[in-house]
Structure formats: C-alpha cells, structure tokens
Amino acid sequence: MAGRLIGISRRQRRRAPMEDLRSAVVTAAAGVHGDFRGAVRPGKVPRRQVSLMEIESWRAALDEVHATDLFGQRPPWHARRANLLVEGLRLPRKAGAVLVIGRHLRIEVTMECDPCGRMEEVAPGLERALTPDWRGGVLGRVLDDGEIAVGDEIRIER
C-alpha cells in the first residue's frame, strides 16, 4: 500500500514560523535542508531528525476539539510543526519500520511524536486530541538521502 506526500515544511530555528515547500532535499547529515531540528551533532545518533504526520489524524484531532477560527477556517497542518504530511497511508506505529519517499529517500521510524503543550496555543484540547494512537505522528532518522516533492509516493518498506 502506498500514500502520497502532500506537504513539506521546515523552520530555521526554535519557535520560528513554519515555511511551506513544494520540494526539498533531505539528508542524513541535515534532515530536511534548512530545518534546524535535522542537523546531526557529532557523535550523536539522530532520533528526531524528521517528523511525519497523517492528514487523516490531523483532521480527526481538529474535529474532536472543533478547531476553527472566527471565519470557520481550520488551523493549517504545519501548525503541528511537522516536516512531512502524508495522505492515504497509515504510518507505522513502531520503531524500526522504514518509509520510502520518492525514488531514494529512506527514513527509519525511531519513535512516536508526542504532542506538546504548544498545541494548546493552536486550539484548546488539541494536545490531548493528538495523543491517542500516535495521532501526533512519527519521528525518524534519514537512512538514505533523497530529493522529494509534494505528490511523491510514500510507502512502507517490506
């Protein structure tokens, strides 16, 4: 089974606004190019290099807390502060699984991406709504570098 990559984002520093991208280079040395979280420190094994989330989980969490602004608009997906947004594929709920995006990029799932208190700034109750069943997404480390673009296929390597 395969899904689609429908969003790419990054931020240059902690608490910086997210920047939406149409394509990106993702490497084992730097994660999503230009994202502060992806750079690997000497002697360290990255566990939080890239974050991925399912659009279906984001929508379910927003529905649960009735998250809309005064104009009826929902918070954008990158308010979750994830790097990659996936549609049509249930991300693995265990460490060690490998995701393949596009032609070459391989990412090993290292852990669940637990939602933080910042989600309460997006919508009251959102942190709790993102907590069950790994709704907040997964974290991973880059195994093989690759260039990716919105629309690329994403699949679980068998």
Q: How many Å is the maximal CA-CA distance in the chain? A: 49
With a pLDDT cut of 90, the percent of the chain lying above it is 82
| The total number of residues written for the chain in this structure | 158
Contact 31, 50 (CB under 8 A): yes
The residue extents of the domains of the chain are 2-156
Q: Which residues neighbour 14 within 8 Å (Cβ) at sequence distance 6 or greater?
A: 36
Phi, psi of 9 (to 5 degrees): -145, 165
**Tens-place pLDDT, residues 59-101:** 999 999 998 877 889 999 999 999 999 999 999 999 999 999 9
Q: Which CATH class is domain 2-156?
A: mainly beta
- Using DSSP, how many helices (H) and how many strands (E) does the chain show? 3, 11
Phi, psi of 128 (to 5 degrees): -65, -40
pTM: predicted TM-score of the whole model, two decimal places: 0.94
**Distance of alpha carbon 154 from alpha carbon 96, whole angstroms:** 16
**Tens-place pLDDT, residues 117-141:** 889 999 999 999 999 999 999 999 9
